[in-house]
Structure 1
Amino acid sequence: MMAKRICVGWNRLFLCLPVVILVTHLISVQEFQQEKSLGGEHKEKPKKFDHLVLGPAAGEGLPDRLQCQGTKALNKTHFGTFLNNSHSVENVAFVTVFATYNSTAGNRPDDLVSVGNKSYNKVERSMAILNVFMNFIQEVMPQSSVIVLTDPASDLPLRREMVTIQPIQGEYSREKLMLQRIRSYISFLDARLQKLIKKQEQVTHFIFTDLDIAVVDDLRQIFTKHPNFHLALTFRNNKEQPLNSGFIAVRGTVEGIQRGKAFLEHVLKIYTTKFMKASRMLGDQLALASVVRSNPNFNARRFSRREAFLDMIHGASVLFLPCSLYNWTPPEGAGQFHGMPLDVKVVHFKGSRKRLMLESWNFFTSSSNLADMLCLILRSGRTKYDF
């Protein structure tokens, strides 16, 4: 009634307009608030789960793919079949870069994350991933050592057999960690080369990896089955990022280390001159791809096949290994939409799959069955988790 009395007559039209606009604005704000509280979920970030979420297992019915019924593997994996028939055994060490960052937020109760019967703050989560990374290696390749390259200022609480902490001076900030990783690899290889030349070390091949991987088969076969490479990279059928830097192998001979080191030095040069804007993430992978593509005879169509191949690039014999076997990633990476190959060697828990990595190790320790564990990974890998 009040609104009618205010707005009676054309001569008061312009007096009514501010009232109408104000009322309309208030209604719009109220509707927006209701929509946000009731139906605005699409604007929120995707939910991350604090427990495993099982979905369908990709690759059902496809040959040479893992078949699962729940978390039970229905067919046999091909683990260790090559080495079982091989008389030549190669000595292999895993090398990774690790840095910790102090976080006051990590001490808040609401920042704790629980996996199984353990709770972790932010710093403890990183240490848990590092320990599970080493657990998988020592389970599958107990004869192999692990070398952790880290900031000299770090005091890592690691007291494990077959594990060495090697401080290397550098800049280990989050923004420069990927850049520092390549520099640390080069420094490590240079130190090993000097010892090898002086005959202070025996020949040991090296596999440089990210922390968030699980080795599920004996990787010595890379060096035994492919005796002519200096450096090995993993590739996928991805036009923009065909190479993944989370797995790099270097043959531990004098020539292998010399050529591998020179190759990485060239990658570092390209990185610092062309891709510093991506120094926090992806810069190393973009630099790797740039170096590989610079070879005038390189055939990019090979990346579409699931077969290892050799190529000479900047004086190094480079072995290209398919990510589908040596860097399989749920749900990213080549081959995952067709399931998990029976002869997968390495599972890479990129991004938000870190909880899945810890859950997988817990599952394995209770079941002692790698194939069943892979079914758990296959059925859980498309979900984002909170770890």
Structure 2
Amino acid sequence: MKIFSGWRRFAFGLLLIFLVTHLFSVRELNNSKMVESRKQLNKKFDHLVLGPAAGQGMSNRLQCQGSKALNRTHSSNGRLGVDGSIAFVTVFTIYNSSVDKLDDKSSNTIVGNASYNKVDRSMAVLNVFINFIQVAMPQSEVIVLTDPVSDLSVHRHRVSLYPIQGEYSRDKLMLQRIRSYITYLDTRLHKLSQNPRNITHYIFTDSDIAVVDDLGQMFRDHPNFHMALTFRNNKAQPLNSGFIAVRGTPDAILRAKLFLQEVLKIYVSKYINASRMLGDQLALAWVVKSKPHFDASRFAKTVAFSDDIGGTSILFLPCALYNWTPPEGAGQFHGMPLNVKVVHFKGSRKRLMLESWNFYSSTLDTADMLCLILGSGRTKYDF
């Protein structure tokens, strides 16, 4: 009996060891699966992954079958009747160029048939930005405001560099952008005082946008605004600073300059801790909403409206048309309006911007390209 009892204890011990080992293995397996799942979620794809295009069956929305447009986008013929030329202005600089230009292919990224290092990637985005403008608005100028010490070289027709002294570090770039806009507007005022008939309207934008329709209609259909901002239905950040238009008259340039000076003052005094990102948009919203009796509920509708903010006549344009963001941003639930004019590849969408240009170059069809963008899904394409 004692021998049998000892054997039972031994067998029970073996069973216990087996169960503990098995449970530990299952737990480790589950943990490894969770880690792998997180890696998959955070993975940045090196190719486009198309999904269903939002807005199917909705009127006045682009309808797509894959990357083929089933209806056509509306072209505005916007330059007709516009008094003055139009120039696009963007702030752009290059970081760590001496390091990135080393022949280290380990960190290179492939998009289509091209290989990019960090400097190449930034320059590719800038060049595609220019490409889209020159297709949609071939008579427009592009002015690149940049750090005088930046090793930046752009040899393109109707493109010029305009160095402005300032602090262009990553942490201060958004702050510097407003300062550069103010400085540039000030120089335009001086030029106009010498030649008041030389009217040029200005559109200040991020360099990661694609202009897909002529924007001249904006100045023709709304002849009285000093500057234009784009808005979305977002309580904390209703205004996006990636698109700001300024009419080219002396009064409008002066009023826009004074408005941006007020935004800069609020930026520095209230939102300096957000100087790397979002501070400019928070400051814009604060200046606009601080106007007594300003009706912020208008931001919930995709209808343009005007208001006087501190003496500056501001035209508020819906992001859905003038600052539309691919899936993961404004507009993804309701598709893409047929008359969209600007696509903003902000955040993790830079690769998609280059892929879109490559697709357009092979098809020369804007509507099909917009279907490619619309169906790109919520995948992380940034590099």
TM-score, normalised to structure 1, is 0.89
* TM superposition shift of 1:329: 0.2
Secondary structure of the 2:62 match is: coil
Task: Give yes or no for contact 2:94–2:150 (8 Å, CA) kept in 1.
Answer: yes
Asked if structure 2 preserves the Cα contact closer than 8 Å seen for 1:95 and 1:146, the reply is yes
1:191 and 1:105 mapped to 2: Cα distance?
34
2:32 counterpart of 1:37: yes
Do the aligned partners of residues 119 and 343 (structure 1) sit closer, same or farther apart at CA in structure 2, a change above 3 Å counting? same
- 1:373 is matched with 369
Could you list the per-position Cα deviations for residues 258-306 of structure 1 after superposition, in whole angstroms to 9, with x for gaps in the alignment? 0000000000000000001100000000000000100012101101111
The DSSP-based 3-state class of the residue aligned with 1:249 is strand
- 1:258 and 2:250 equivalent? no
User: What residue is the counterpart of 2:198 in the other structure?
Assistant: 202
1:143 aligns to what?
A: 139
What residue is the counterpart of 1:303 in the other structure?
A: 299
Q: Which residue of 2 aligns with 1:228?
A: 224
Deviations 1:198-251 (A, max 9, x none): 217711000000011000000111111100000100000011110000000011
Pick one of 218, 239, 242 that aligns with 2:238: 242
CA shift for structure 1 position 137:
0.3
**Residue type of the alignment partner of 2:32:** S
The partner residue of 2:87 within 66, 84, 93 is 93
The AA in structure 2 aligned to 1:242 is: P
Q: Structure 2: which amino acid aligns with 1:96?
A: T
Q: Which amino acid aligns with 2:244?
A: I
Helix, strand or coil: the match of 1:380?
coil
Aligned-partner Cα distance in 2 for 1:43–1:358: 27
Q: What are the ranges of 5 or more consecutive residues in structure 2 without an aligned counterpart?
A: 1-5, 10-15
Counterparts in 2 of 1:81 and 1:157: CA distance versus 1, 3 Å: closer
Task: Report the equivalent of 2:353.
Answer: 357
Question: Which position in structure 1 is the counterpart of 2:284?
Answer: 288
Shift, 1:63, TM fit = 0.2
Give how far 1:38 is off: 3.4
Task: Tell me how far 1:372 sits from its aligned partner.
Answer: 0.7
Counterpart CA distance in 1 for 2:289 and 2:235 is: 11
Cα distance in 2 for residues equivalent to 1:78 and 1:43: 41
Query: Quick one: distance in 2 between partners of 1:81 and 1:174?
Result: 38
Counterpart AA for 1:93: A
Tell me the matched-pair count: 368
- In the alignment, is the contact (CA less than 8 A) between 1:231 and 1:318 conserved in 2? yes
Give, as a single letter, the amino acid of the residue that structure 2 aligns with 1:204: T
The two structures, once aligned, show a CA RMSD in angstroms of 2.4
Q: Give the Å deviation of 1:348.
A: 0.3
Partner-residue secondary structure (3-state), 1:351? coil
Matches within 5 A, 1:163-178: 163-178=159-174
- Kindly indicate whether the alpha-carbon contact (under 8 Å) linking 2:209 and 2:343 is maintained by their aligned counterparts in 1: yes
Question: How many angstroms apart in 2 are the aligned matches of 1:287 and 1:193?
Answer: 24
Partners of 2:185 and 2:161 in 1: CA distance: 15
1:31 Cα offset (Å): 6.0
User: For the residues of structure 1 that align with 2:189 and 2:141, how far apart are their CA atoms?
Assistant: 18
Q: Distance in 2 between matches of 1:351 and 1:87?
A: 36
Which aligned pairs between 1:40-119 and structure 2 lie closer than 5 A? 40-44=35-39, 46-81=42-77, 83=79, 86-102=80-96, 104=99, 107=102, 108-119=104-115
SS of the residue 2:268 aligns to: helix
Identity percentage of aligned residues: 65
**2:12 maps to which residue?**
none
SS of 1:292's equivalent in the other structure is helix
